[in-house]
Structure 1
Amino acid sequence: MNAVTLVEETRAGIVENVHTGMICGVNEKIETIYYAGDSDHYTYYRSAAKPIQALPVFLSNCITKYGLTNEEAALFTASHRGESYHIAALESMLQKLPVREDELFCPYSYPLNVKPKEEMLRKNLEKRRLYHNCAGKHMGFVTVCREFGFPVEGYWEVDHPLQQQILKLLSELAELPLSEIKIGIDGCGVPVFAIPLKNMALTYLKLACPDLIKDPFLQKAVTQMINIMNEHPRIVASEDFICSVLLQDQNIVAKGGAQGVYCFGLKKERAGFALKVLNGSEDVWPVIIAGILEQISYENKQTIASLRALKPSIFKNDAGAEVGKINEKFILTGMQNTTSEIYRI
């Protein structure tokens, strides 16, 4: 495993934290055009897999059949933070879909965001499966099980027909044999997949550029899903979170996962990226992705500025005094596009 320093944090000139990891970017010719560290490193998607796990819903007629709004449908791809608009949409979905809350396999939880969690605690409200950040994904799982005639019981098991369908979709998008996909268990209890970082980047290239997908039905489903994610970015996370900031840019499809993995695709540039922060930090994602976009001369400077605003290069203490700096330290290899610096997947 070859990792590089991605971000360095200093306080009064002394290095306090170092975040190492890997970055890989691929183009439509399935070439690795940008990298830092080992692009073959096996990485678990965690919640960055949610758009792929949501595809069975978009391949079905469930959204139209049950009268879901696009805002509600975005929750199938989301790591929702438990804001009032998330809960309202989830409650509405429960009324429309053939799903009971007690059928969801995700654990009882409070919202991820502090304010809605504190509000529920003040009201002595109990944890609910609906408050779990993966609730939308699980509602999609139960819905398509009923739509396709799969058993609802055990939908979280890797040998269940729904999970096998998702594995096949991942294999197709990643252009990786099923035998080379590693499987673990995610935080919400369903299978989670690990593949080489470069293949992960390829999946997000195809999400950004569905015309690269050979199956016309899958191409149509991906197009619908990505349009909905860009239309309702705050549903995928919430205000002032990196997924929502990136999805506000109509040129970008993006989703992060736990333990420092992040993926995004660029439509106009026809490129896909995946990165892994080895210490699992999500806090430094905005710094890294802003650095990537700057190094590839990304045109939308407002998107870069919004990322910088999420994680400024100068950090302050509790009294508001400037006490340190946060800077990306990596340089992407392959930017000169010479033959020796481009490697095929």
Structure 2
Amino acid sequence: MTQPQPICEVWRGPFLESLHLGHAVITDDTGQVIQAHGDPGVLIFPRSSAKMLQALPLVTSGAADAKGLSEMRLALSCASHSGAPLHIEAVDSWLSDLGLGEGDLRCGTEPSRDKELRHQMIRDSQAPCQIHHNCSGKHTGFLTLNQHLGGGSEYVDPDHPVQRACREAFEDVTGMTSPGFGIDGCSAPNFATSLQALARAMSFFATAHSRNDTQSRAAARLAAAMRAWPEHVAGKGRACTLLMRAAKEPLVVKTGAEGVFIAILPGRGMGIALKASDGATRASECAIAALLVSLGVVDAAHPDVARFMTPKLHNGRGVEVGYLRPAPSLFAG
């Protein structure tokens, strides 16, 4: 087994203080590996980077069209949103159109990741609800599919028709039978796969617009929705939103917990998947930005790229004391 490789360096003054290790894979339009760092076969939980895979049955089943879902709602079904007012309003409206409410969600509660709203809620002694959870859009998509399938209320149960449909779609586009699952932070099953298989799935999405089968048409719609509504996929100041906006060509990027990141490049038919071994978000953001720079998808000098690829480190007095940078090997592929 190939060992994890350096992906992100942390410098303080003239010294390398810390080093993040990880794995990264780029696949071509056939799903074959064209660049690898570390072990392409490493088994991972994709976490939220797989939300567009989990949303596939929402579209392929006909549920999305039966409920007249807008492109914005399709983007929300793939989102790890910040719980900002625009996200809260959008999810609440969607639930209302389904004749459902916050109590029908099974994602659990989470404080808003939107700083202004979170602080205002604290001042108002207002407790967060499930709609504030970053996965509430995905779960509202699950509820939409569940209404279409006629399943029971516990749609996060691994044996529920919704989750069986998600697993079938997941294994179909990764091209790999999942060896099992863990329960994600939002209580839904998260299916394990290899990093190479996850990148292969992103190549499937990247080439979906060139095919006309049901699964491919669904993948193309979801990817297009994410590109069109980047603010709803993540939010203000977030890497997913800013990198998609900074791109010089069509691009979808999606973060996942514990240092996972994916990218879909429809213009090239390419997919990218990476995992920081220590689960550090700063490392995965740095590495995905670097790989996109190495491919010419974004410019290193763009401020919304530099803030993730080469961020400055400051102490409590605001003095610049160091910086992050990608491991040079990421540019050697």
TM-score, normalised with respect to structure 2: 0.92
CA contact (8 A) 1:94 1:100 kept: yes
Note if 1:168 corresponds to 2:168: yes
CA contact (8 A) 1:106 1:132 kept: yes
CA contact (8 A) 2:290 2:309 kept: no
**Unaligned regions of 5+ residues in structure 2, if any?**
none
Residue correspondence of structure 1 range 187-266 to structure 2 within 5 A = 187-211=185-209, 216-248=213-245, 249=247, 251-266=250-265
**Unaligned regions of 5+ residues in structure 1, if any?**
336-345
Q: Which amino acid aligns with 1:282?
A: T
SS at match of 2:281: coil
* CA apart distance, 1:29: 2.7
Residue correspondence of structure 1 range 71-82 to structure 2 within 5 A = 71-82=72-83
**Partner of residue 341, structure 1:** none
TM-score, normalised with respect to structure 1: 0.89
* CA apart distance, 1:138: 1.1
User: Aligned partners of 1:190 and 1:314: how far apart in 2?
Assistant: 36
User: Aligned partners of 1:284 and 1:300: how far apart in 2?
Assistant: 18
**Which stretch of structure 1 is more off in the superposition, 24-33 or 45-54?**
24-33
Task: Give the 3 Å change call, closer, same or farther, for CA 15–303 of structure 1 in structure 2.
Answer: closer
User: Aligned partners of 1:193 and 1:304: how far apart in 2?
Assistant: 35
SS at match of 1:192: strand
Q: Which amino acid aligns with 2:221?
A: Q
Q: Which amino acid aligns with 2:276?
A: V
SS at match of 1:15: strand
User: Aligned partners of 2:187 and 2:116: how far apart in 1?
Assistant: 26
Q: Percent identity?
A: 28
SS at match of 1:102: helix
CA contact (8 A) 1:246 1:303 kept: no
User: Aligned partners of 1:269 and 1:305: how far apart in 2?
Assistant: 24
User: Aligned partners of 1:304 and 1:291: how far apart in 2?
Assistant: 12
1:33-78, Cα deviation, whole Å (9 max, x unpaired): 1111111100101111111111122224444443443323321111
Q: Which amino acid aligns with 1:48?
A: S
* CA apart distance, 1:330: 4.3
1:85-112, Cα deviation, whole Å (9 max, x unpaired): 1111112112211433212111122212
Q: Which amino acid aligns with 1:242?
A: A
CA contact (8 A) 1:34 1:334 kept: no
1:265-315, Cα deviation, whole Å (9 max, x unpaired): 21222211100001111123332122212333x154279652213453432
Q: Which amino acid aligns with 2:313?
A: F
Task: Give the 3 Å change call, closer, same or farther, for CA 305–203 of structure 1 in structure 2.
Answer: farther
Q: Which amino acid aligns with 1:216?
A: D
SS at match of 1:274: strand
Count of aligned residue pairs for this structure pair: 330
**Partner of residue 279, structure 1:** 278
CA contact (8 A) 1:33 1:334 kept: no
Q: Which amino acid aligns with 1:219?
A: S
User: Aligned partners of 1:117 and 1:299: how far apart in 2?
Assistant: 34
Residue correspondence of structure 1 range 27-176 to structure 2 within 5 A = 27-152=28-153, 154-176=154-176
Q: Which amino acid aligns with 1:165?
A: A
